[in-house]
Amino acid sequence: MAQSRQMSHILGATSESGRPTIARASYDGRMRFTPSPIALRLFCLSILALLLSGCGEPEAATPLLRWYVFDEPSGAFEQAAADCSAAAEGRYQITLVPLPSDADQQREQIVRRLAAGDAAIDLIGMDMIWTAELAAADWIRPWPAAAAMQARAGRLQSAVESATYAGQLWAVPFTTNTQLLWYRADRVDQAPATWSELIARSERPGATGTIQAQGARYEGLTVFFVSLLASAGGSVLSPDGRSVSLATEPTRRALAIMQTLARSPAADPALATSREDDARRAFEAGTATFMLNYTYVWPSARSNAPEIAEQMHWARWPAVDPDRPSRVTLGGINLGIGAHSRYPEQARAAALCLAGERQQRQAAIRGGLPPTIATLYDDPAIRATFPFAELLRATLRDAVQRPKTPLYADVSLAISHTLHPLHEIDPIADVARLRRAVARALRSQGLL
């Protein structure tokens, strides 16, 4: 009894003398808990100002359009916003709101805010894989017929297709992108035309890491798979996007190529964690002979490794069948209008200006982002930036869309989780596994 009394006395002291020590130490250097009267007053004032500004905004003379788009480092987007604001002559003013550089985090932020009915999102620089999701959830506005005509005019068919869902246009195509095969002209005379040729030719003894591709468990792996599957003549979903396709023959061929590549000495040992930038670095370091990557690697190599850029040549993404040209996955940004925007009219006008010829040329020359306006590929300034413009346009014409479903995020996770790591793929058994995983994702069921 006496002992337990003493125990409880000790415990009493614990929470009385122990706690303050903890509290003081853990808050040290972070914040103080005694606000000065001035700080308190300022805080109240700022809250008041916030409330008042919230009431006053709709009366502003010039509508302020917020353009949410990924943080483009060259400043081409900022320039575009300024130019279009000036050209609007007071009809609207565009401010740029940069999103995180990571594509998943861009989507998370945009989707969460749109679901909550955020009226401050006027213009969205949408990764084209969001089109179906945002459209089906009514988070973006469809383009009325007349405006849609304007938005489609002169633009690459595949880019327009990427902004279309359920027979309607949901965004204006702004920039596009796709992968090419980059190779070292000092090591190979002619680029291989097919995957089997590419792998066979790189498998010289002792030549590790000569082919650079994307094998980490992320969106890039899905892109790799979709390109191989389409080149083999298959598709992930049925044409209506509601059920799984993944025909046995093409799927098996795509999986077999992934497995062969991953087990080949020609693949990078770190293929399981390799993303686009890892491939670029390995190529710039001089170890790789072949690389599958987007066009941004060209300006990057020219400034980071000029002597390697000298020898850097390009070719079409390898085919699966010798007599069927490859179909490569399309990427790019389209401009959509937030469903809760207070100024949809002005936002559409602004989107057309931002995705106009002048701004696309800017984005191409300054930012290295390939345009969606077909004729720009004949422009001398663009040809100087992209010497591979002709090949790029041809690849884009045959490009394949990623699965068009509102559940794309789930489908992509299902694909990349099932196929990672590539060297453990079993081309025969994994066709069924992949089908099951994608079917479950389409029903938005189960954990991934």
Partner 1 sequence: MKGWRNPEHRLGWALCAPAVLAMLLVTAYPILYALWLSLFRYDLRFPDERQFIGLANYLTVLSSPAWWQTLFNTLVITISSVAVELVLGLVFALIMHRALIGRRLVRTTLLVPYGIITVVAAMSWRFAFDPTTGFVNALLGLEGAWLSERWSAFFVIIQTEIWKTTPFMALLLLAGLSLVPDDLLRAARVDGANAWQRFIRITLPLMRPMILVALLFRTLDAFRIFDTVFIQTRGAQGTETVSILGYNTLITRLNLGLGSAVSVLIFVCVIAIALLYLRGFGVTILHREDR
Binding site for partner 1 (CB under 8 A): 4, 7-8, 10-15, 17-18, 21-22, 25-26, 28-30, 104, 108, 111-112, 115, 133, 136-137, 216-218, 270, 272-273, 281, 406-407, 409-410, 413, 420, 444-448
Closer residue to partner 1 in complex, CB, 132/350: 132
Q: In this structure, what token pair is assigned to residue 420?
A: 């990672």
Helices (H), strands (E): how many in the chain?
A: 20, 11
Nearest distance in Å: CB 250, partner 1: 27
Least distance in angstroms from the C-beta of 104 to partner 1: 7
Taking CA atoms, 8 is separated from 2, 16, 154, in Å, by 10, 12, 82
Residue 93 CA to residue 346 CA, distance in Å, equals 9
Output the smallest distance, CB 109 to partner 1, in A: 10
Whole-number minimum distance, CB 155 to partner 1, in Å?
27
Question: 69: buried, middle or exposed (CB in 10 Å: 19+, 13-18, 0-12)?
Answer: buried
Name the minimum Å distance from CB 153 to partner 1: 31
Distance CA 317, CA 414 (A): 25
Output 127 or 410, the one with its CB closest to partner 1: 410
Q: How far is the CB of 410 from partner 1 (least distance, A)?
A: 5
Which residue carries 């079993």 as its tokens?
A: 426
Instruction: Name the residue with tokens 């008042």.
Output: 52
Give the nearer residue to partner 1 in terms of CB position, either 13 or 47: 13
Q: How far is the CB of 31 from partner 1 (least distance, A)?
A: 12
Q: List the one residue out of 343, 338, 337, 339 whose CA is nearest residue 63.
A: 343
Q: How many CA atoms lie within 13 A of 400 on its CB side?
A: 25
Q: Which is nearer to partner 1, 40 or 270 (CB)?
A: 270
Q: Which is nearer to partner 1, 383 or 435 (CB)?
A: 435
Cβ 352 vs Cβ 174: under 8 Å: no
Q: Can you give the C-alpha Rg of the chain in angstroms?
A: 27
The pair of structure tokens assigned to 128 is 């084209």
- Between residues 420 and 435, which has the closer beta carbon with respect to partner 1? 420
Q: Which is nearer to partner 1, 272 or 391 (CB)?
A: 272
